[in-house]
Structure 1
């Protein structure tokens, strides 16, 4: 005997409603905003002084943190492995995921790792545990950039993320984006200041070693480099290089970390206008002719190292007086720099590291991993904590190719200790 016709209809409606509710619950659980914090299960590893030479190869670009960890990004994840000199990437030491936002960039200072997301959220993690230290609302990134599979653009040159030290030595995070630029205390995420600026007619430069944030502003009239105090956001100067025009670009040099705490900058005008090098400090920038050459790097306030006809030459940054040259290395190019080290790459893909103050060789070895060989072209590079990481590209390099064609191998990043 079945249910009466009326009751059958009621049962069918109830069953349908229950089905819809079940689907709604599943969809909500899958698609609802979420964050997953997977903390470290072992103690914080000791600092490492790695053996000189090639460490290994990695599928993604590492950010070296506190001489102990390597931090990486995925589309919706920031994670770390350890130790810093492990030959391959291993199971994460800690991990943090968000949904549905995507990673925009990551920076690190000491044991604080700050990730920025596509919705503007800033999330600071304690590198020692992977636990969330603080969260804050920052300006959304200017645009979604296409990041290749190594993620190098998010960790070696994160857009709109800059570290700085205020005059009282407080660590400050400067964040720029669609709704302006803001300063945050790195210790606790407290917002220090906010400035409404038109991102459509401005270009970030970086922070200086004297606690200023620099940006090129061409919103009204000829372009100028605007400087702001990182602790208060107060504009301190609007500077234009001699002979300035409506078009101006500026590149930071002599930085502690990517585009952060920099000692100088290099400006360039439209077309074939010559570049000019400058030292930045408390007052207006001062000319540094040894930085005029596009590939030159600055170490401290005095030494500029450049390459002329394949020969590395160090000069006094301000006067241009030659300090040393190394014509015995064969043709080389500068691929990266960090305090106390200038990293050169030879035509045979040997990595040569010199002391920028004296020109003395610190190390030299081929950037070869296993049977990978040396038949590749260098891509993006990064240097920190005595390490150098470099992308290896397929020759001839095609910037418009997909990742499979663009990179030489499945694990294209080579990591070396110098």
Structure 2
């Protein structure tokens, strides 16, 4: 027997030179492994990569809901009057201690209310791929409405889901809050809270063809009403009244009418049209809480005139003190400004009896630009001057409660226009928009600052 060829195939050996077969073996061996093993390893590795990608894609794209319960309960605010925070998102103030925010697929809360910036969320609630359509709050219950019609209520103190119900499919299917979420938390389309004539609190959701009433405390469906005619396509944004009704403007009627639905039953109580309103009827709710809820009055515009009405009973009652555009309603008072002098005046909305008048905001504005009434809340009326001073008056007496410039310590910017203005629990939140205001601009041009919302304690 001859000597074995050099290189026996053992590890670290070198294959003999010469011959096509030797060259082929050299090409398809790697550290001594044959071709089929390399192919198998490549296939297995590819399958593993595909599996990992599939798992990641499923976790990211699959329908999901993430509830993060409260990690802390903020303390009540203790700040003195003045600017207290600048925020990138518009806060909805709940339970006197929480700030609730909205984004495309999430709502979250932080606090305390007077914390200078946004903090780690106390709790959050997120859904995918649904989008957040609206948020409303009453007491310690925060209600959210989603693009699939789902209505989910969160206990504001715990962050846990209190109840959920399948609501009507909303006419609006996408988040509309822009960068701050202000429209979603302050004026959501088709979502309101209300109180029936016998004192029951409920959530009202309007969809493409239905209106739903849900008990606020339990989530039990109280009624579901089919909208006549072309449903939501004919009806402008509605509101609930302190008289226990849901008001919807039916623009398809000839002439347009205001439909009033009883919150106890969901049934149409009456169809109403103000005398002389004509075909261009527009309705502005007055004296409302957030989400156009519990409105005590309204102002109709049509045929070149505006008229004020109280809606704290079953039928609208004329209220001439509310006729002037920009007059606001709070605590039973019509508060507005004399167009000539700029004086702030308050009259009984029901009787027209004068209650108080003051020229202090107009007279003392240092830039000579006077002051403009921008918001009211129980016990307070808020005015903004040209140099961006916020002046707060006692709504019952007209006495000045506070006055300061809306500038945080690190800012020196007053060249902005107010966007959404929200007044609640003694605080005022204002979006600051870039001048001149262009509603169609992208968010970078539309908002004046990155942290565009300024929050003040009055």
Deviation (angstroms), 1:223: 1.4
Call closer, same or farther: CA 1:379–1:385 in 2, change over 3 Å.
same
1:354 aligns with 2:393: yes
Match of 1:241, SS state, is coil
In 1: Cα distance, 2:161 partner to 2:374 partner = 34
Residue aligning to 2:201? 171
Aligned to 1:201: 234
Q: Is the Cα contact below 8 Å between 1:306 and 1:312 reproduced in 2?
A: yes
1:191 matched to 2:191:
no
**Structure 2 equivalent of residue 120 of structure 1:** 149
Query: Which residue in the other structure is 1:396 paired with?
Result: 436
> Distance between the aligned counterparts of 1:253 and 1:4, measured in 2?
81
Q: Which has the higher strand share?
A: 1
* Equivalent residues in 2 for 1:17-416, closer than 5 Å: 22-42=52-72, 44-143=73-172, 144=174, 146-197=176-227, 198-269=231-302, 273-301=304-332, 303-309=333-339, 310-330=342-362, 331-370=370-409, 371-416=411-456
Post-superposition offset of 1:10: 9.0
Superposed displacement of residue 8, structure 1: 9.7
Which secondary structure state, in structure 1, belongs to the residue aligned with residue 237 of structure 2?
Answer: strand
RMSD: 2.2
2:132/2:175 contact within 8 Å kept: no
Cα deviation, residue 319, structure 1:
3.9
The size of the alignment, in residue pairs, is 413
Which has the higher mean CA deviation after the structures are superposed, 325-334 or 315-324?
A: 315-324
CA contact (8 A) 1:306 1:313 kept: yes
Q: Is the 8 A contact 1:311 1:332 kept in 2?
A: no
Over 3 Å counting, the alpha-carbon distance change for 1:16 and 1:402 in structure 2 is closer
How far is the alpha carbon of 1:3 from its aligned partner? Answer: 8.0
State the TM-score, normalized to the length of structure 2: 0.85
- CA separation of 1:11 and 1:417: change in aligned 2, threshold 3 A: closer
Q: Take 2:251 and 2:417, find their aligned partners in 1: how far apart are those partners?
A: 36
What is the CA distance between 1:140 and its match in structure 2?
2.6
Q: Cα gap change, 1:372/1:178 in structure 2, threshold over 3 Å: closer, same or farther?
A: farther
Helix, strand or coil at the partner of 1:45: coil
Q: Contact between 1:208 and 1:214, CA under 8 Å: does it hold in 2?
A: yes
Distance 1:298 1:14, change over 3 A: same
User: Following the alignment from structure 2 to structure 1, what is the Cα–Cα distance between the partners of residues 390 and 262?
Assistant: 38
**Is this contact kept in 2: 1:173–1:184, CA < 8 A?**
yes
Shift of 1:215: 0.6
2:454 corresponds to 1:417? no
Mapped to 2, the partners of 1:81 and 1:94 lie a distance apart of 7
Higher mean alpha-carbon deviation, 321-330 vs 229-238, is at 321-330
Query: Could you state the TM-score of these two structures normalised by the residue count of structure 1?
Result: 0.92
Matched position secondary structure for 2:233: helix
Q: Aligned in 2, Cα 1:12/1:350: closer, same or farther, shift over 3 Å?
A: closer
Once the 2 structures are TM-superposed, how far is the Cα of residue 52 of structure 1 from its aligned partner?
1.3
Q: In 2, distance between residues paired with 1:127 and 1:87?
A: 21
Q: d(CA) in 1 for partners of 2:412 and 2:155?
A: 36
Structure number with greater Rg is 2
1:160-219 Cα offsets, whole Å, 9 max, x none, are 111111122221000112232111111121111111221111123311112111111133
* Structure 2 CA distance for aligned equivalents of residues 340 and 196 of structure 1: 39
Tell me, in whole angstroms, the C-alpha distance in 1 between the residues paired with 2:450 and 2:47. 49
Distance 2:47 2:387 in 1: 69
Specify whether residues 318 and 23 from structure 1 end up closer, same or farther in structure 2 by C-alpha distance, changes over 3 A only: same
Q: Which runs of 5+ in 1 are unaligned?
A: none
Change (3 A) 1:146 1:68: closer
